[in-house]
Amino acid sequence: MPKPSRQPTPGRPRARATAGKRTDPALAAALDELAAANRVLARHGVLDAYGHVSVRHPGDPGRFLLARSRAPELVTAADIMIFDLDCNPARGDDRRPYLERFIHGEIYRARPDVIAVVHSHAPAVIPFAASSVPLRPLYHMASFLGRGAPVFDIAERFGKTDMLVRNAAQGRALAETLDGSEVALMRGHGYVAVAPTVARAVFRAIYTQLNAALQQQAIALGGTVKYLDPEEAALSDESNAGTIMRPWELWQRMAKG
Ligand code: MN
């Protein structure tokens, strides 16, 4: 019987690219948490075959972790690559990265407070990126929207494109639109959600989608819609931060296996 091939295959990254990552406990934990975040977001329909989630490197704020170009539900810790903020992969890692990794690199550069970034095409959010109706916090679970959800229109600075954020200049323009908010919508494309932890970025990405669906229902009722005011939103966002580990534990358990 022939010996199994040691050649790399598309589903099986080379060992060399991940060598060393496991020797740093903080990095190993970050890789496992990010792999879990990929599965959680996929199970919630926030990510499908497209979209991605990243985390800043635990030992170096000038780098971040993001999976190779692979459907999020299939991502394991071994699929995760390390990039600098220019979005160059670690030396020797020649696996195929996501085209839109510049979303992540430029947000980390512009926002030192951001530790995790989710980029999604979740359907319920798309109408608000195309309409003059702003996405606003309809309920307490989406109170982070109280700091606004500005819309990034790639055409304003870059003319006709395929709508993807393909380079540093486009990523920088998106980060400028996001400014100090937790969510930015992307016309004809999707949205980004950011947070100071992976758990909270996942939470915000999930509840952005749910708020968008509920807001459409509230508008469809036809009366006047009363949203959380900025003070209510701020109080609620602080309160939600205190219970984040409850959904995070549940979601990770649901997404196992
Ligand atoms: Mn995209």
Ligand 1 midpoint to CA 242 (Å): 31
Q: Domain for residue 14, yes or no?
A: no
Q: Domain for residue 190, yes or no?
A: yes
Whole-number pLDDT of residue 2 = 45
Contacts (Cβ under 8 Å, ≥6 apart) of 90: 17, 81, 82, 83
CB crowding 173-185: b at 16 or more within 10 Å, else e: bbbebbeebbbbb
pLDDT of 12 higher than 90: no
pLDDT of 102 higher than 70: yes
Ligand 1 midpoint to CA 103 (Å): 9
Summarised one tens digit per residue, pLDDT across range 49-58 is 999 999 999 9
Domain that holds residue 183: 23-252
CATH number of the domain that 104 lies in? 3.40.225.10
Whole-number pLDDT of residue 250 = 96
- Average pLDDT (127-136) is 98
Ligand 1 midpoint to CA 72 (Å): 13
pLDDT of 132 higher than 60: yes
Ligand 1 midpoint to CA 163 (Å): 8
Give the amino acid at 199: A
Q: Domain for residue 18, yes or no?
A: no
**CA 137 from chain center: how many Å?**
19
Q: Domain for residue 144, yes or no?
A: yes
- Output DSSP code: residue 42: H
Q: Domain for residue 35, yes or no?
A: yes
Q: Domain for residue 11, yes or no?
A: no
Q: Domain for residue 237, yes or no?
A: yes
pLDDT of 10 higher than 90: no
Total structural domains in the chain? 1
Beta bridge partners of 54: 66, 117
Summarised one tens digit per residue, pLDDT across range 81-97 is 999 999 999 999 999 99
pLDDT of 1 higher than 60: no
Q: How many CA atoms lie within 13 Å of 77's alpha carbon, on the beta-carbon side? A: 12
Active-site annotation holder among 100, 182, 238, 249: 100
Summarised one tens digit per residue, pLDDT across range 204-220 is 999 999 999 999 999 99
Q: Domain for residue 229, yes or no?
A: yes
Q: Is 100 a catalytic residue?
A: yes
Rounded mean pLDDT of the chain? 93
Whole-number pLDDT of residue 37 = 98
Summarised one tens digit per residue, pLDDT across range 156-204 is 999 999 999 999 999 999 999 999 999 999 999 999 999 999 999 999 9
pLDDT of 113 higher than 80: yes
- Average pLDDT (68-85) is 98
How far is 149 from 155, CA to CA, in rounded Å? 18
Whole-number pLDDT of residue 79 = 98
